[in-house]
Amino acid sequence: MCRNYLFICAVILCLFYGRAFDINKSQQAKRVCVVGAGIAGLTSSRYLKEEGIDFTVLEGTQYVGGTWRYDPRTGTDEYGLPLHTSMYKHLRTNLPKPTMQLRGFPVPKDMPSFPSWRLYYDYIKDYAKHFDLIRHIKFLHLVVAVRRESNIWKVKHKYLPTEEEFEDEFDYIIIGTGHHSKPNMPNIPGESNFKGKIIHSHNYREPDVYKNRRVLIVGAGPSGMDISLDIAAVSKTLVHSHHSKIKFNTPYPDNYIKKPDVKEFNETGAVFEDGTYEKLDDVIYCTGFQYDYPFLDKSCELTLTPRSVVPLYKYMVNIHQPSMIFMGLVVRACLVVAIDAQARYATALVKGNFTLPSKEDMLDDWQKKADAVRSKGRPLSDIHLLAQNEDQYYAALTEESGIDRVPPVMFKIRALDTEAKLENLYTYRNYVYDVIDDETFTRHIETRSNSSCLP
């Protein structure tokens, strides 16, 4: 009897202290791991820093800026890892500068309306300097494993020069590793017979090597459209194969040949779905990228496919493990502005400014989106599409978390820019967009200036 009593007392004491301990633990400083030092990692760092939250950034390369840093090399880097960047020499942004601006850090006044990668990369580096973020970043620390154990994130990372491995514990993890790095290959029949060279746009750097050659571009996404024009300026022919139903009115040059999808390759060229044949020297697949998180383990409870990451709440919070947040997994949006808003939302969440809905409600919300995609007969990858819902998304982020709202003028600028692209891919970058207020902007044609002389 007495022994039982003692036992019960012990259990009660344990429960009491256990709970007290938990409470203290929950009041302890939260530790946040930020993976990647591109725009996602840098904006997250800036806001976490402003809130006085304890965080560490792990970046696999020795640079900030992620994909915006051009590297003339292709393949692997000095550590044998696949090069992350997909930048090409002549790239200029495909969105005008007001939509490329990070909050509270104006782009330089003399920056052209659609800057080259170099000017934009300088701007990102200046941002990191201005907010004194560099000292928070562990460069050359590649994240190799992330797992959830005992209610904590265990993050394993490798210092590349010595291959030394570390494991640290964090309460939150913000994943900003980008999704424009791993090529999505179409696997077309007969590829291995083709005698010419086939590459993916990830490895496209400059047009010079295609001078006087017969080049096939597959795909009509932003890269496909942009790289086609870059190469058509020097190539003998530019065969553009795609099935986009969008009507592009661009006055293509005489060496531009539009084709439907490729049916198959043989040694010398490609046969298309309409039965026609074209002799080719080179092929560039502009067929998009795959989501790639080789470091995430099962305990993260996500369903990962090359084209989707689910289920996420507000396009970023891992519903099953809501202390894991993905940045920038939205498609067809002003990505820079969207990432900046997501970084503030994530920070507000860590700070405790708001709490997430219950798991059931988040799943419910997600399921509705998934059902909508399915009912349109579209693939699940569409779950990441913002498109027409972009401005509503910004409103919803603000409503839930209390962050400053991304003004509606951003979406309006993107909409007009999209129209300009459909009119003419050669001239849409001649427009200058000036923001008047949160709702309105003006547009005029850039007077011939230095910017139009840029590559």
Ligand X SMILES: *[C@@H]1O[C@H](CO)[C@@H](O)[C@H](O)[C@H]1NC(C)=O
Ligand Y SMILES: Cc1cc2nc3c(=O)[nH]c(=O)nc-3n(C[C@H](O)[C@H](O)[C@H](O)COP(=O)(O)OP(=O)(O)OC[C@H]3O[C@@H](n4cnc5c(N)ncnc54)[C@H](O)[C@@H]3O)c2cc1C
Q: How many positions of this chain bind ligand Y (CB under 6 A)? A: 34
Among 170, 226, 347, 394, binds ligand X (CB under 6 A): 347
Residue 354 makes contact with ligand X by CB under 6 A: no
Residue 336 makes contact with ligand Y by CB under 6 A: yes
Among 244, 249, 266, 303, binds ligand X (CB under 6 A): 266
Residue 274 makes contact with ligand X by CB under 6 A: no
Residue 335 makes contact with ligand Y by CB under 6 A: yes
Report the alpha-carbon distance of residue 124 to residue 63 in Å, rounded: 11
Which tokens is 419 given? 């129209």
For residues 455 and 428, is the Cβ–Cβ distance under 8 A? no
For residues 309 and 329, is the Cβ–Cβ distance under 8 A? yes
The one of ligand X, ligand Y, none whose footprint includes residue 76, by CB under 5 to 8 A per kind, is none
Residue 235 makes contact with ligand Y by CB under 6 A: no
3-class secondary structure, 352: coil
Give the chain's radius of gyration (CA, Å). Answer: 25
Which tokens is 56 given? 């560490």
For residues 291 and 223, is the Cβ–Cβ distance under 8 A? no
Residue 155 makes contact with ligand Y by CB under 6 A: no
By CB under 6 A, the residues from 374 to 433 that bind ligand X are 402-403
Among 41, 42, 47, 300, binds ligand X (CB under 6 A): 47
Report the alpha-carbon distance of residue 334 to residue 325 in Å, rounded: 19
By CB under 6 A, the residues from 160 to 189 that bind ligand Y are 176-178, 180
Residue 288 makes contact with ligand Y by CB under 6 A: no
Q: Which stretch binds ligand X (CB under 6 A): 52-60, 66-74, 128-136, 262-270?
A: 262-270
By CB under 6 A, the residues from 2 to 41 that bind ligand Y are 35-41
By CB under 6 A, the residues from 20 to 39 that bind ligand X are 20-21, 24
Write the DSSP string, 298-350.
GGG--EEETTEEESEETTTEETTSTTEEE-S--BSS-HHHHHHHHHHHHHHHH
Residues contacting 358, CB < 8 A, separation 6+: none
Least separation in angstroms between CB 222 and ligand Y: 7
Residues contacting 170, CB < 8 A, separation 6+: 31, 32, 33, 56, 152, 153, 155
Least separation in angstroms between CB 451 and ligand X: 8
Angle made by CA atoms 221, 222, 224, in degrees to the nearest 5: 65
Binding residues for ligand Y (CB under 6 A) = 35-41, 58-61, 66-68, 84, 86-87, 91, 93-95, 100, 142-143, 176-178, 180, 295, 327-328, 335-336, 339
Binding residues for ligand X (CB under 6 A) = 17, 20-21, 24, 47, 51, 266-269, 271, 277, 344, 347-348, 351, 353, 402-403, 449-450
